[in-house]
Chain A
Amino acid sequence: MSYLAKPKVHHPSLKPNALGLTRRDYEGALSTLCAGCGHDSITAAIIHAFWELDIEPYKVAKLSGIGCSSKTPAYFLREAHGFNSVHGRMPSIATGAGAANRELIMIGVSGDGDSLSIGLGQLCHAIRRNVNLLYILENNGVYGLTKGQFSASADFGSTSKKGEVNEMTPIDGVTLALNLGATFVARSFSGDKEQLIPILQAGLQHNGFAFVEVISPCVTFNDHEGSTKSYSYTREHMIEVVEADFVPIRSEITTQYEPGSVKRVQMHDGGMVNLRKVAEDYDPTDRDKAYAYIRNCQSEGEVATGLLYIDENGKDMVEQNDVVDAALTNLPYSDLCPGSEALAKLQLRFR
């Protein structure tokens, strides 16, 4: 962290987006995280993703739980709505917010502790309900905020900063999400913005729950030798199995691919994702094969990254529940609360 706020001055070539906003307009408060924390880098990627997609900050809701990772929504999109919930309870807040206002663009930021320990049940049900939300799990293998205890994602046999060995098997967010039927599953690394930014953009345009795990080293408690979530370990062990290139609606497709090497997926909210397989026999549209492949990587000690699974045909929570097209917040009070007569009629159905 620093004491000095990032000065307002900027480079003369700083570009505005279609809304006339620069990247700097998507920043938030000064980060209080440790210098070099992976989470800050993800924040920078989020800022870039929103800026490039020309999203108006006031249309966005930022949601989080508790943890260093959960603090980060304060550091981007200062003009967006936000809710910092109780530890592990962000999915409930997102569910409620999404039900009340289906037009909100929701981004949730959580940690491996927040998501995989105290909030595991919450996460599972949000996936099951397919809440329309970009869910970012910033995975550093520890409870950073409470000074570096092993989290549920810590690998078996990895060691803490003081040398303790972790004897429990990890919960892997990616295979968990695949298992629970998530329609968008990705993994990336805070130190690789080229990969991360298009994934975040695709996740924002996905209809339904977009699960993005980002390995995000904790420089203070988990960047030592013996850690499997450090900068150097991640760089040595990550393999990119699919390369995702997000093409926003307005831009023309400029990248040239060899015929047959690319799968195109039209995103629900606009834009197109080009998926280029890096691994030969990988298919990001086949859940079972993807699952098997990722498990296999895991047992080989490799960390599979990329946009690992995508299905744009799923129904999200509001569609499943036949919610009216308009945001509930925009309905006139008389429609929202039609009175005792209507209630009595409704109750009749349950008699």
Chain B
Amino acid sequence: MVNMRRTDTNNPDYYHKVVDCQWACPAHTNVPEYIRLIAQGRFDDAYIVNRESNVFPGILGRTCDRPCEPACRRTRVDGKPVAICRLKRVAADHKSDIKDRIPKAPAKKNGKKIALVGAGPSSLTVANDLMPLGYDVTIYEKGPRPGGLMRINIPAFRLPEEVLDEEIGYIVDMGVTMKYDTPVNSLKELLDTKEYDAVFVGSGAPKGKELVLPGRYDTDQVFIGIEWLESIHFGHIDSVGKRVLIIGVGNTAMDCCRSAKRLGATEVKVIARKTRKYFKASPWELEDAEEENVEILENLSPVQFVVENGKLVGMEFDKFTSQEVDGKLIQEPAGRITIPCDSVILAIGQENAFPWIERNIGLDFDPKWDMPVVDKDTFMSTREGVFFGGDAAFGPANIIWAVEQGHQAAISIHKYCIGESLSDRPPRGQTLASTKMGLHEWSYSNYFDPASRQKMVHVDLPVRFSKMTIEVEKGFTEEQTALEVQRCLNCDIETHFTDSLCIECDACIDICPVDCLTLTENGEEADLRTRLTAPALNMEQALFVSSELKQTGRVMVKDENICIHCGLCAERCPTYAWDMRKFALHLPYAGRPAPVETVAQVAQVTS
């Protein structure tokens, strides 16, 4: 039997993992910190904390895929995560003029020139990180304005133009050279100019998938989702048939069905091959669509477009029955059905296309997927000095991944330009500072608020359908914000244990409302997990294990899973063996390494 080793809380990963949201966020946004700042009405500070890691708080506060929310500890406590994403929007909407706090490009350039292809979130992040270091950055953009899919595909009723303009403006205004309506048609030509020290490709995954079935080309009423949305954005399309079918049930499908409603469609049906559990769209996207009376039909697979006299009249589908056996979906054929319709929108996925990258310039493509070979850590291709990020690197993902990959690529580009090894990734650091202010006072609100998740209020249906650009979500009211911020469990205020101080009095164990703590004989992790005050069955959540304690040789074990960070263990501990310490994760950015030394600021312990 191998006993568990003393948990290494000096490794920033340990406490970082306790902050479930920050760990799940691709850019590691310091969520609890900005929520506390909002609670204090410090919207500017909350915005800046966000911007540091995710660059587009106002945009993301409306559109982020929010991997943080399913991870949120609050879900495991009362079923619903903190509305992390929409609180980001609160900070963005209520901040004052923060232009002064945006990093500026120095007057003196560093002499290095970088070209970025595409003006989507990945390229913009690279520019954001490199401009303050003195780089001369040029963005080549095929379209007339910056933003990429955020602008031309995400409909304005979810993301208003002003928000895009403002946050993109903060970056462009640092002095980026913007070349609009300038597609790069040959990477070789761009490289051959030798004008640039490095090139970043952030051109996205611009092609919607085709569905070639009988009848496809016999009508002009079948559209490819992302192209269709783009045409709506540019005003080339302003109407659609009354009865519309959307094929596919991912994120694009959700924007298509809701856009159709705004173009005058009365009957909109989204067609899914599988059952709800397997849909790619997020639960909240489905809810929003259903609120707009969009119907979602399951277990249907397209067979053909039914065209009569050159007019699309319907679409034929194979029907299935579905049942789940041992966690697997088993589908059996159950006949056919034709659903009448006037227009069909295909939203079955996106593909990458790089017709403008030559295959003989030392930039390898994976033969199977026809995708560039890109290093997962450095984001450099096999051609030195050419970097990829965002959807162009590994296929369609989302904005927050594009941002994080932009940060990482910027680190690499900077290292490349100053001749450092790219694979030596800069480490993260942490600070731990006691929050103890007095016998029963902490510098955070440790009270557990039983409030339930606030529901976002939406604009009335007739009003929102009247125009494409009416933002549906109203944003949280002051009252809602005040309640929602208190739901955050302050997972960055860590229960920090000093082994030598514990006298094994059990006080902390007895007071813990959620049975996190146990004093017991050490053992193997699997065995230890069954011997705790409450069994630790969530294997994704770590156990903290102390060294052997001096009085009995037992160890203090904490299951991080359900801890509500109430600080009662530390309040009850007579010796300060438990302290509530604020954990701050320090992330490295291009040209700005993280302070890696662990600085422990400890409250003065007097006895």
Q: Which residues of A are at the interface with B, using a C-beta cutoff of 8 A?
A: 1-4, 6-14, 24, 34-38, 40-41, 43-44, 190-191, 193, 217, 219, 223, 231-232, 235
CB-contact partner of A13 in B447, B509, B535, B567, under 8 A: B535
Residue of A nearest to B514 (CB): A11
CB-contact partner of B571 in A4, A9, A223, A231, under 8 A: A4
Q: Given A4-B440, A11-B514, verify A35-B504 contact (CB < 8 Å).
A: no
The digit string for B222-236, where 1 denotes a CB below 8 A from any CB of A, is: 000000000000000
Instruction: List 12 A-B residue pairs with CB atoms under 8 Å apart, sorted by A's residue number.
Output: A1-B440, A4-B566, A4-B567, A7-B513, A35-B507, A36-B507, A36-B573, A40-B511, A40-B572, A193-B506, A232-B503, A235-B552
CA A223 – CA B448 in complex, angstroms? 33
Give 20 new A-B contacts, CB below 8 A, not counting A4-B568, A34-B574: A1-B440, A2-B571, A4-B446, A4-B567, A7-B448, A7-B513, A9-B78, A9-B448, A11-B514, A14-B515, A35-B574, A36-B507, A37-B507, A44-B506, A44-B509, A190-B505, A190-B506, A217-B505, A231-B551, A232-B551
Check: B251 CB closer than 8 A to any chain A CB: no
Pick from B507, B535, B566, B571 the residue with the most CB of A within 10 Å.
Answer: B507
B571 contacts A10, C-beta separation under 8 Å: no
How many interface residues does B have (CB within 8 Å)?
Answer: 35
B510 contacts A9, C-beta separation under 8 Å: no
A36 contacts B505, C-beta separation under 8 Å: yes
B575 contacts A36, C-beta separation under 8 Å: yes
B429 shortest CB reach to chain A, Å: 32
Residue of A nearest to B561 (CB): A11
Find chain A residues with CB under 8 A from B511 CB. Answer: 2, 6, 40
Find chain A residues with CB under 8 A from B551 CB. Answer: 231-232, 235
Check: B339 CB closer than 8 A to any chain A CB: no
Find chain B residues with CB under 8 A from A24 CB. Answer: 513
Residue of A nearest to B568 (CB): A2
CA A252 – CA B107 in complex, angstroms? 82
The digit string for B77-97, where 1 denotes a CB below 8 A from any CB of A, is: 110000000000000000000
Check: B207 CB closer than 8 A to any chain A CB: no
Find chain A residues with CB under 8 A from B572 CB. Answer: 1-2, 35-36, 40
Report the 10 A-B pairs with minimum CB-CB distance, sorted nearest first: A36-B574, A7-B448, A2-B571, A44-B510, A3-B440, A11-B534, A11-B515, A36-B505, A41-B506, A35-B574
B511 shortest CB reach to chain A, Å: 6
Find chain A residues with CB under 8 A from B383 CB. Answer: none
Find chain A residues with CB under 8 A from B513 CB. Answer: 6-10, 24
CB-contact partner of A38 in B505, B537, B566, under 8 A: B505
Find chain B residues with CB under 8 A from A232 CB. Answer: 503, 551
CA A217 – CA B551 in complex, angstroms? 14
CA A82 – CA B574 in complex, angstroms? 29
Find chain B residues with CB under 8 A from A14 CB. Answer: 515, 534
Check: B6 CB closer than 8 A to any chain A CB: no
A18 shortest CB reach to chain B, Å: 20
The digit string for B9-35, where 1 denotes a CB below 8 A from any CB of A, is: 000000000000000000000000000
